[in-house]
Structure 1
Amino acid sequence: MSARARHGSLAVGYVAEGGQVAYYAPPRPSVSWPHQIGVLPRQADCFQDRSAVAQLEQAVVGGGTAVLCQVLAGMGGVGKTQLAAHHARTRWQAGNLDLLLWITAATRTAILSAYTQAAAEILGADATDPEQAARAFLAWLEPNPDRPGRRWMIVLDDLADPADLRGLWPPASQLGRTLISTRRRDAALTGPGRHLVPVGLFTPDESAVYLTTTLAAHEREEPADQLAALAADLGHLPLALSQAAAYLIDADLDCAAYRALLADRARTLTDLLPDPSALPDDQPAPVAAAWSLSIDRADRLPPAGLARPLLHLAAVLDPNGIPASVLDNSPALDYLTEYRAPTTGQAYPDQVTTEDAARVLRTLHRLSLIDHTLRNPQQAVRVHQLIQRTTRDTLTPQHHHRLAQAAADALIAAWPDIERDTALAQALCANTDALARHAEDALYQDSGVHPLLFRAGASLGHAGQADAAVHHFQRMVDVTQERLGRDHPDCLESRESLAFWRGEARDRAGAAAAYRELLADRERLLGPEHPDTLAARVGVVFYTAEAGNWADALAASRQLLADHERTLGLDHPATLNVRNVIADLQGNSGDAAGAAVAFEPLFRDFQRAVGPDDSYTLSIQRQLFFWRGMLGDAADAAAAFEPLLQTMRRTLGADHSQVRVTLNNLAYFRGKAGDAAGTATAYEELAAACERMLGPEHPDTLAAKSDFASWQKRTGESSVHQSTDS
């Protein structure tokens, strides 16, 4: 075997001395320093000086650790390559480097090829053996006291797979710096001596500056509010902003017209961005193709074939946060099983598991296609809105329809019967809204409305957001009337829900009128004694009373109770609810004693019929305590409300609307009992709860804050009086 074969391509001869064999490398070629290998991308027009620029210039990080390798990580299109090129170009032009090596690191072969070129140019290595040449080059980068050191920088741009660097990492050297840009977030890319620099989206200010400057360079000017809105439409993604600006200029469109095209769901994103021949800044691909390779790679990673269908589900939900429980329940897993991509030579189990779904989420996170965190399960998954749109654009109408129904089934399966977790309920409502925006047709079928829409509207209302519930059910009424007809059962149910929440939103007259219209239609369609007809009669009676006609409402409610008892029975929940209405009417018409007497057996009957911790039972108990309090000792009433409040918080959740009503009752009776400090505390808690759930400008929030301020002032005055008396 020759010396070259045994010891590598750098050996070209040998001499024997005392039995020892010495191999010689060829003389190094003459290299002029500084030396650059590879071509840096040209700097983008209107390049933005972002926070990542300053981070790349850091020589040390926390604890004084020297920065020898930096990893720019982020989703496709955020500008990682431009940041890497800007940093390398800045150091090169400042004379801080002897060697700059730029590598487009899409494959291991590309990395080896670049190392081989460097070894050939610097060391005279044999380029026919890339592995050996690469090892020689990496060895040359190592600090060596026997030869002068060279200051070097290696940029591995768009690293596709950390495994491609196995055995090819540049060495840790005080003379050298490694810079990697990648969409990957694997643990293998971080560690001692490696500093992660996350690259995110433009800030709103950066987006505005970029669009303004880019358009101004072409003598174009747009209103600032339109530019801000366009940036938000495109999710502040740098690549999308640059391509949208180019499209505006080439198509001679104004910003408002372009935004109208973007809002048209019948158009794909590809239709609204430049074709590949007109991309700005030497960009290699349009936005719509920016993530295709990452999705393909994710689909090949284990468990194979699931990344794309899971991304489908995420693409029709809320980009700002999808609960983990929505993506790993039975309807979601059924969809993943049905649409799992086939892989040659691999057999799959019959059903995708929860563990499979969790692994796929982590895979999508590692490739920067989603953000996935277990620390916030209510918003565990976030995905950029343009990734969502490009994903939806690939679906056929039939597939999109099936996907929307699967997502709706997954959302309702994730909805708890009792909404103790307010953040989860809010996230589920937001995801329902997103799904309705993307696929409303799939939620309104000839067979009826998907129950998800009724569930979401009720959730809004029971959280105290009556105005939002009104808006939600008004949309349902409009759509069902148009698509299903005014007499369809789901249209009638939507009208009933709208009427109820109009009343809760303090539009009593509107609620009464809506219930009267509903009652007429139900009597015509169902007859006078149908349970749905009786329910409409209850609404008419209640909101007639709320509008001020107590005596007529009380008489009508007693006849209504007799009809319920005859048709539904004494213990039917609807019958018990009529008794609730009667007792409430008694109290509000001035008969507090009659109300207290009526609520006592009603409370026992509700406990027996629906359970002690049901929200209706607890509401009846609250009303019983209230009317007892109106008759007797305020201090006793306040004492009764305190354990009830704790029970409600435990069973219904701290932010349930019934908790706020009970807090208000507690504050009232503490005030009547002369407990200024306790009253102030209750109103302070109430104000915080109202602001958290309803917003700072809601009338209930403002009223609670006003009451808190008033009682807090009385607490101070009381303290002064006590001090003076003593």
Structure 2
Amino acid sequence: MGEIFGRRPPRRRVVVLLALALLTAVAAVLLLRRSPVTLAPRPGWAGTEQAGWIAGIVSAVFSLVGTVAAVQALRTTRAAERPPAGGTRTIRVGRIPQPASWFQDRRARLDLARAARAGRTAVLTQVLSGMGGVGKTQLAAQFARRLADSGELDLLVWATAISRDAIIAAYAQAARELRVVDPTADPDQAAAALLTWCEQTDRRWLVVLDNLDVPADAAGWWPPANRNGRTIVTTRRRDAVLGAEDRTLVEVGLFTGEEAVGYLTRAVADPARLAEAGQLAADLGHLPLAVAQAAAFIRDRGLDCAGYRRMLLDRRRRLDDLVPQPDALPDDHRATVAATWSLSIDAADAAVPVGLARPLLELAALLDPNGVPTGLFATPAALAHLATARAVGEGARVQAEDVTRALHNLHRLSLVTHDPHGSSLRVHALVQRATRDRLTDAQLVAAVRVAAAALLRLWPATEVEPPLSQAFRANAAALRDHVGDLLLRAGCHEVLFRLYESLGESGLVRAAFDGLAEVVADCLRLHGPDHLETLRFRNQRAFWQGRTGDAAGAADAFAELLTDCLRVVGPDDPLTLTTRHNVAYWRGEAGDVAGAVEATAQLLTDRLRLHGPEHPHTLNTRGSLAWLRAEAGDRAGAVTALRALLADCQRVLGLEHKTTLSARNGLAWQLGAAGEHTAAIAETRVLLDDYIRLLGVDHPQTLNARRNLAWWRGKAGDPAGAAAALAGLVDDCLRVLGPDHPLTGMVVESLAYWRGKPRRTADG
């Protein structure tokens, strides 16, 4: 590994000084013997020179004596530092954990070694911080063991820093081993003496404070700075005090995918049992502790990785049922994966504001591990739930600032990762699962209802920011995945309607349809075919079936649904009327335009009877009828009807209502289809500006308006301009909607069309 501490002065210097003194004395004697022969006699010389020789000899002898005395003094002053009889072995205090089986040579260990070798620029105190189970102790133990075994340490102190007394006891024992205090010295006095020794010595030392999860326990007992010494601390905490000026806070993360698979490969050993090892590592969130305990469970039960994955993905199984029993844990593990975080949760919940951290974590455990919008916890439903669920001060009102402080407590103890300046937090999937496992049925139902209500409260009605919409979809999908049927049993259907509506509108049409097919199957199993929510989900599923390109299948599905709606809820129910609208629309899309016109005209009559002429549904049905008449060949009549409809929409609903915007879009298109290309371009350009302002540049309706504008430019005689506009639009559609969205396909087809067309006149 190479020496990492400053080199102490070699003891050979003392030997050299002693040898020089001896040589000086010998030279004086030789000079005395040679002088009568080589020097000419002078009167009075003999006595004078002889006295000089004698003085030289005496001086040499005194020099020799002084040197010996200095050596003796040096030995005396270092007597306390001398290792016990038997050699120069490292003095070890405390028990270093045994090496983990199949230890992975992780990047974090390399970072420690690089910092340690940095000479005068080395960081002398490193604080390894991370959530329980990431392997902080094993990294510190490996580092300490390598230094000691390679002869680079004179003193190694391993203190399990679970309390102030434990730290002092380890220090006191080290002081006694070094003989810097009397064996009967008071522990505090002995510990203080050790720190003094660490500050002044030129011998090489390493102090490890393992599991310092209460930083206050080390106040006043941090080892001093000395270039001959190093301090390593492991902790779950991330408090600012741990990263003081002379300390470096090192975040210890999870295994990389390669490291996790490497561990499983070595631990399971049998290649025939390693299928899906990479997927299993991902399912375990690459958490070293979980990977180790899963591997032990696989070996003990004769399983393979694929079989263990199936068990892990079964929501009915508790996490504790998927690891070895506490008395059979591998590598001296002190707790199961699930129990590893219990002390941290208790500590976070006990911090001010008391009793909020645990129920906050319980809510976060139901949502997306990769990013929970923190605003969810400040919604009225969440604040009321937290006030009821907190362990103390029941009934006390909870404020948004209380939530912020409680989230910080969870972050400090590495249970979540939360940037106070950010808008989301992350929490490991296994922490989530362990938290859910400990909820009673009543607690789980209450938390599910709160999470669903919070999502609906904050979910934007008009989705103009794709990343934000994706975050809400991910959290709603995670909620469904985590609790399964409970979301439907608890009456939280609306969040699922919103999820699949958002998926479809964002361009993920196939995902919306597939997800709704599963929900319909669940509703049929749980509620039966005549339950209102079953009928509503069937309506939504049939719509997105049509959007996938299966217009005929959608028309048939809506026709079947209409029969059931008429029987279950009656002819005038809003769901029945909506289903009639969809039957007509998809019949038209499937090619039966005449039938669609007739069905829509009948629906308009009933809308007028039930809702009146100014209701948004009535106005929307008028727009559908005008469009269908245009498809049937009456373009001029459609334009006239749409102009009248637009005037009514603007008067009744306003300029920015979605029905008004839809009427404007329909009118602009029909103008172009009727040959009024210049008017179509003008109308579409203004509409596009409004879409960008109201919905954003990446909204599907904005992208569709860009496609329409380019199309009418081509029809007006500018095929090159149309192709250029569509080329840029293809890139944006691929980025926002993906290659499978119908609009992407339409844009690609339009681009190919106009690239193959020569420039024409406006009447071409």
Range class of TM-score, shorter chain: 0.7 to 0.9
Task: Show CA shifts across 1:553-595 (max 9, x none).
Answer: 2233223222221232111112111111112112323333322
Task: Identify the residue that residue 20 of structure 2 maps to in structure 1.
Answer: none
Q: 1:259 to 1:334 in 2, by over 3 A?
A: same
Per the TM alignment, residue 27 of structure 1 is displaced from its structure 2 partner at its CA by: 7.8
Task: Identify the residue that residue 600 of structure 1 maps to in structure 2.
Answer: 643
Report the Cα distance in structure 2 between the residues aligned to 1:97 and 1:677, rounded to whole angstroms: 76
The Cα RMSD (Å) is 2.8
Paired AA for residue 257 in structure 1: G
8 A contact 2:516–2:541 mirrored in 1: yes
Q: Which moved more, 1:426-435 or 1:557-566?
A: 557-566
Task: Show CA shifts across 1:682-716 (max 9, x none).
Answer: 434533443333334556446646766887x799x
Map 1:355-394; keep pairs closer than 5 Å.
Answer: 355-374=401-420, 376-377=422-423, 380-394=424-438
Task: Show CA shifts across 1:252-300 (max 9, x none).
Answer: 2222332222222222111111112211111111111111111111111
8 A contact 2:91–2:177 mirrored in 1: no
Does 2:392 correspond to 1:336? no
Report the Cα distance in structure 2 between the residues aligned to 1:416 and 1:92, rounded to whole angstroms: 59
Paired AA for residue 460 in structure 2: P
Q: Which secondary structure does the structure 1 equivalent of 2:226 belong to?
A: coil
- Of residues 433, 449, 462, the one that matches 2:505 is 462
Q: Which moved more, 1:555-564 or 1:291-300?
A: 555-564
Report the Cα distance in structure 2 between the residues aligned to 1:705 and 1:280, rounded to whole angstroms: 57
Task: Identify the residue that residue 46 of structure 2 maps to in structure 1.
Answer: none
Per the TM alignment, residue 62 of structure 1 is displaced from its structure 2 partner at its CA by: 11
Paired AA for residue 57 in structure 1: A
Task: Identify the residue that residue 154 of structure 2 maps to in structure 1.
Answer: 98
Task: Identify the residue that residue 80 of structure 2 maps to in structure 1.
Answer: 28
Q: Which secondary structure does the structure 2 equivalent of 1:159 belong to?
A: coil
Map 1:46-57; keep pairs closer than 5 Å.
Answer: 46-57=102-113
Map 1:100-499; keep pairs closer than 5 Å.
Answer: 100-122=156-178, 123-125=180-182, 128-142=185-199, 144=200, 149-216=202-269, 220-222=270-272, 224-342=274-392, 347=393, 350-374=396-420, 376-377=422-423, 380-445=424-489, 450-499=493-542
Q: 1:127 to 1:74 in 2, by over 3 A?
A: farther
Paired AA for residue 502 in structure 1: Q
8 A contact 1:117–1:127 mirrored in 2: no
Listed as ranges, the gaps of 5+ residues in structure 1 are: 1-24, 719-726
Report the Cα distance in structure 2 between the residues aligned to 1:45 and 1:371, rounded to whole angstroms: 29
Per the TM alignment, residue 616 of structure 1 is displaced from its structure 2 partner at its CA by: 2.8
Report the Cα distance in structure 2 between the residues aligned to 1:509 and 1:91, rounded to whole angstroms: 74
Task: Identify the residue that residue 68 of structure 2 maps to in structure 1.
Answer: none
Q: Which secondary structure does the structure 2 equivalent of 1:290 belong to?
A: helix
Per the TM alignment, residue 544 of structure 1 is displaced from its structure 2 partner at its CA by: 0.9
8 A contact 2:711–2:750 mirrored in 1: no
Per the TM alignment, residue 238 of structure 1 is displaced from its structure 2 partner at its CA by: 0.8
Q: 1:29 to 1:223 in 2, by over 3 A?
A: closer
Per the TM alignment, residue 657 of structure 1 is displaced from its structure 2 partner at its CA by: 2.1
Q: 1:479 to 1:31 in 2, by over 3 A?
A: same
8 A contact 1:667–1:683 mirrored in 2: yes
TM-score by length of 2: 0.83
8 A contact 2:476–2:499 mirrored in 1: yes
8 A contact 1:307–1:360 mirrored in 2: yes
Q: 1:629 to 1:705 in 2, by over 3 A?
A: closer
TM-score by length of 1: 0.88
Q: Which secondary structure does the structure 2 equivalent of 1:319 belong to?
A: coil
Q: 1:70 to 1:636 in 2, by over 3 A?
A: farther
Q: 1:264 to 1:137 in 2, by over 3 A?
A: same
Per the TM alignment, residue 357 of structure 1 is displaced from its structure 2 partner at its CA by: 0.8
Per the TM alignment, residue 364 of structure 1 is displaced from its structure 2 partner at its CA by: 0.7
Q: Which moved more, 1:428-437 or 1:235-244?
A: 428-437
8 A contact 1:419–1:425 mirrored in 2: yes
Q: Which secondary structure does the structure 2 equivalent of 1:59 belong to?
A: helix
- Of residues 111, 115, 119, the one that matches 1:59 is 115
Does 2:669 correspond to 1:626? yes
8 A contact 2:274–2:304 mirrored in 1: no
Q: Which secondary structure does the structure 1 equivalent of 2:115 belong to?
A: coil
8 A contact 1:323–1:381 mirrored in 2: yes
Per the TM alignment, residue 195 of structure 1 is displaced from its structure 2 partner at its CA by: 2.3
8 A contact 1:328–1:358 mirrored in 2: no
Query: Percent identical across equivalent pairs?
Result: 47
Q: Which moved more, 1:44-53 or 1:259-268?
A: 259-268
Q: 1:26 to 1:466 in 2, by over 3 A?
A: closer
8 A contact 1:43–1:85 mirrored in 2: yes
**Aligned pair count?**
679
Q: Which secondary structure does the structure 2 equivalent of 1:503 belong to?
A: helix
Q: Which moved more, 1:32-41 or 1:106-115?
A: 32-41
8 A contact 1:312–1:403 mirrored in 2: yes
Q: 1:349 to 1:556 in 2, by over 3 A?
A: closer
Report the Cα distance in structure 2 between the residues aligned to 1:127 and 1:683, rounded to whole angstroms: 88
Listed as ranges, the gaps of 5+ residues in structure 2 are: 1-76, 760-764
Paired AA for residue 79 in structure 1: G
Report the Cα distance in structure 1 between the residues aligned to 2:78 and 2:617, rounded to whole angstroms: 97
Task: Identify the residue that residue 700 of structure 2 maps to in structure 1.
Answer: 657
Report the Cα distance in structure 2 between the residues aligned to 1:90 and 1:239, rounded to whole angstroms: 22
Report the Cα distance in structure 2 between the residues aligned to 1:621 and 1:631, rounded to whole angstroms: 15
Report the Cα distance in structure 2 between the residues aligned to 1:114 and 1:317, rounded to whole angstroms: 43
Task: Show CA shifts across 1:60-92 (max 9, x none).
Answer: 899995312112111111111111111111222
Report the Cα distance in structure 2 between the residues aligned to 1:557 and 1:501, rounded to whole angstroms: 20
Q: 1:552 to 1:418 in 2, by over 3 A?
A: same
Report the Cα distance in structure 2 between the residues aligned to 1:678 and 1:292, rounded to whole angstroms: 64
Paired AA for residue 489 in structure 1: L
Does 2:113 correspond to 1:41? no
Q: 1:639 to 1:225 in 2, by over 3 A?
A: farther
Report the Cα distance in structure 2 between the residues aligned to 1:436 and 1:587, rounded to whole angstroms: 43
Per the TM alignment, residue 354 of structure 1 is displaced from its structure 2 partner at its CA by: 0.9
Q: 1:675 to 1:351 in 2, by over 3 A?
A: farther
Task: Identify the residue that residue 654 of structure 2 maps to in structure 1.
Answer: 611
Per the TM alignment, residue 26 of structure 1 is displaced from its structure 2 partner at its CA by: 13
Task: Identify the residue that residue 724 of structure 1 maps to in structure 2.
Answer: none
Task: Identify the residue that residue 667 of structure 1 maps to in structure 2.
Answer: 710
Report the Cα distance in structure 1 between the residues aligned to 2:272 and 2:493, rounded to whole angstroms: 42
Q: Which secondary structure does the structure 2 equivalent of 1:390 belong to?
A: helix
Q: Which secondary structure does the structure 2 equivalent of 1:413 belong to?
A: helix
Task: Show CA shifts across 1:12-48 (max 9, x none).
Answer: xxxxxxxxxxxxx998375344322222111111111
